Chains A and B, each alone.
Chain A
Amino acid sequence: MTAISNRYDFILVFEVTNGNPNGDPDAGNLPRLDPETNKGLVSDVSLKRKIRNFVELAKGGEDGFHIYVEEGAILNEKHRQAYKALHPDDAKLDKAAKLNPKDDEEAVKLRDFMCMNFFDVRTFGAVMSTGINCGQVKGPVQLTFASSVEPILPLEISITRMAATNEAEKKQKAEGDDSNERTDNRTMGRKHIVPYGLYVAHGFISAKFAERTGFSEADLELLWQALGNMFEHDRAAARGEMASRKLIVFKHANALGNAPAHQLFDLVRIGRNIDGEFRPVDDKRIGNEPPARKFSDYIVEIDRANSPEGVEIIEKV
């Protein structure tokens, strides 16, 4: 497969309604917050996880579209059992796991093998301890932290479960002062939600790195598809309703690019929709307006007139 020959930069705009887009392990799974601005954050790795999951769903382990960094159960484990039954000398190969590649040439071979077979290695790269040349694969696709357009207000929702986990918990409850029939077997839990948040992530695709990993036009198309649909297949109790709202792609006419990325990102302005009128989010006048609770409370403007020469703006979603 031939690699892509254009540089791309992109903006992904996604929303969350009554859900937690990305919990902070440091803060008891509260939605991530920038402590200085109170804007919500979603880490790059969280988004990459969803892309991987989508590709796995869409391609189902087709040749060349395996996922290296997998989540949860693996069906391949079964295949291995079958394989082991056929080739009992497999154990020898397992022992060889401590060897490093003999030379650079072999390291390149290993790298190419990983890139060819695994979509996520080809796209995001991977660290491979191949000893001699550190064997790092830098992928062409780079994502940044997504940040919400306006400060978010995380809410803590207490919930109850009408059962206890085990006998001990039940006993503990019964010994407490509020022991009555109704609360006996109940446990309480907490959910953290963001009532509404519109998040923006920036992404970069280097055509030069794509050459090295073989990231092709077909892979690119799959990536766009994943960015547009990944939340549709990531429903969970914690997530609430999440959706990709806009995917704005800047396609440069050549491999190195025709404009600085920040200049392109500045072409997209997101403001509040006040009676059909665009107001920047830092406008003091919106302070008295009710908080945004849906996508139509925002306006996304693309300044196509000032788009630099050699850059094509494509709206994928």
Chain B
Amino acid sequence: MSDSFKAKSPSRRQFLSGAAAVGAGVVAGTTAKAAGPDPLITQVQDWASGTGDGVDATPYGLPIDYESDVVRRNVEWLTADTISSINFTPIHALDGTITPQGCAFERHHSGAIELRKQDYRLMINGLVDNPLVFSYEDLERFPRENRVYFCECAANTGMEWAGSQLNGAQFTHGMIHNMEYSGIPLRTLLEEAGLNAAGDLKDKWVYVEGADASSNGRSIPMEKALDDVLVAFKANGEALRKEHGYPVRLVVPGWEGNMWVKWLRRIEVTDQAVESREETSKYTDTLEDGTARKWTWEMDAKSVVTSPSPQSPIKHGHGPLVITGLAWSGRGAITRVDVSKDGGKTWETARLAAPGEKMAMTRFYLDTTWDGEEMLLQSRAMDDTGYVQPTKAELRDVRGLNSIYHNNCIQTWWIKSDGEAENVEVS
């Protein structure tokens, strides 16, 4: 790739004169008159004269080299090792709502395992009429659905409970991705095994676990299992990535990412919650008095301005500015997002790129003019239950500082007069 790039790069003479012209434009602002003819226009460039890559050069493509900063990033000090750890989606650089799978965040508890379709087995057992084993091929023969949902780690923004720590939307809000899933309703598989043996379904549970060493077992109430949970094998049109559960994962709309069990191998109908490690030691939320909430499944309404933000500063000078970000709610659809430039004193309503979809990401824009004034930029999401995204202070009033999970507070970016941005808290 770099060979083919080199062959087509502009000559050094062209580069220098071109760079000078572009540089002058940045300094003068975008509406300034051209200092002279732009050689990128007046001189025939190699790409307008020679040829590019053939169609056989890239059977499965990666982004162009110039986008090499749009990648998952790790924060070493967060966890003891990289096997049971987290990385972050580069949301500061993305637009729209669909997350490219290749840079969609990962969270593993014993690493991303390699599980071939031929070796894949899914068991349904417990309080069912007939315990079953499915092969991957069996699953492809059930009627399928397609749905777009966000998957947000319960710990997203968790490092920010005590204060402003990490400088970038990728790090403060990037434990999230949003994909179009193809799969089977969990309900279909449970009915295939038969639920008459379970009796009254109201007080029943399903326990789901993965094929990896951590197993990540979680208990889900039957009502949710029969509602909208999917057993998915495709995301954004193609097979799940290895790190996202290939070949089969659970999709649990609106609920904390930990319950989206990857490499799903077993579904057990039970008459009580198992109270596994991932729903006792972890994914329980300690309150100020030392008691802890358990079974905090839904991810509340939340939003963040992705640009401008610390990793995406304003570089284009004064004038038109697009403020954009993402909003989502685990309890329904986003109905509105407000944006404040003055730290929450006044708000204006942003434009949604498309009407909010239930438990899926929504893109918002505020098309504005910036003349170099400092801003304390915030966004505030609302969902169709009437819930309004709270401030961090309001959350702390109820929960204290030690909840770790479920931090859906309003984020503030301090935009400086030079366009740089910083993660801050405001009074």
Q: Do the two shown chains form a genuine complex with each other?
A: no
